[in-house]
Amino acid sequence: MERKIGRNVAVYAISVAAELVGTGQQNLRLYERKGLLEPGRTVGGTRRYSEQDLETLRRISALLEDGLNLAGIRLVLELEATIRRLERELAAARTRP
């Protein structure tokens, strides 16, 4: 029986996450310092990354390739999160009687 893991479950160590997205561990630490993502932490404080974090890291890489700096990327990520929240609210409002 296969156990499904949610997209927000932090399971990947920083070395694995960096390898999966094709960047260095220092970049992941920098992105965290700049507020671009917030990985989970173990009881001992070790960073753990989820599938959602990996998607965010891939989005950061794409925006860097497009020429945005980290401050601009933070704004884009915040705006995209706001759009997703508003879309959910609109969908919920449409289903109300």
What digits encode the pLDDT tens for the residues 14-35?
A: 999 999 999 999 999 999 999 9
Question: Is 6 part of a structural domain of the chain?
Answer: no
Domain coverage including residue 73: 14-95
Cβ(17)–Cβ(54) under 8 Å? Answer: yes
Residue 60 carries which DSSP code? H
How does pLDDT run across 52-95, given as a tens digit for each residue? 999 999 999 999 999 999 999 999 999 999 999 999 999 999 99
Q: Is residue 3 part of a domain?
A: no
Residue type, 44: G
Count how many domains the chain has. Answer: 1
| Domain assignment of residue 82, yes or no | yes
